[in-house]
């Protein structure tokens, strides 16, 4: 049994930060997010795919194991 060095919310915070840095650096915000009136932004399918790839990469980097897999 392994112990995660990060909590899931920390993994998500890192993934979110990296996601926004990539969108900004590459100038692809319009391809990845859209505005929803009175609700803020939402990811497009493309943006969602990028976010989840980043999240999975962070999990792999820290050997994160989902609770149900332990």
Q: Kindly report, residue by residue over 5-46, the tens digit of the pLDDT.
A: 999 999 999 999 999 999 999 999 999 999 999 999 999 999
Residue 68 has pLDDT above 70, yes or no: no
Domains of the chain by residue range: 8-64
The encoded tokens of residue 44 equal 């497009």
Residue 67 — very low, low, confident or very high, per pLDDT cuts 50/70/90? confident
**What per-residue confidence (pLDDT) applies to 16?**
97
**What per-residue confidence (pLDDT) applies to 38?**
96
pTM summary value: 0.85
């Amino acid at each position: 049994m392994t112990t995660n060095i990060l909590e899931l919310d920390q993994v998500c915070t890192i993934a979110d930060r990296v996601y926004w840095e990539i969108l900004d650096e590459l100038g692809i915000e319009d391809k990845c997010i859209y505005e929803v009136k009175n609700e803020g932004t939402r990811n497009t399918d493309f943006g969602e795919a990028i976010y989840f790839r980043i999240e999975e990469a962070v999990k792999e980097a820290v050997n994160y194991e989902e609770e149900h897999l332990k």
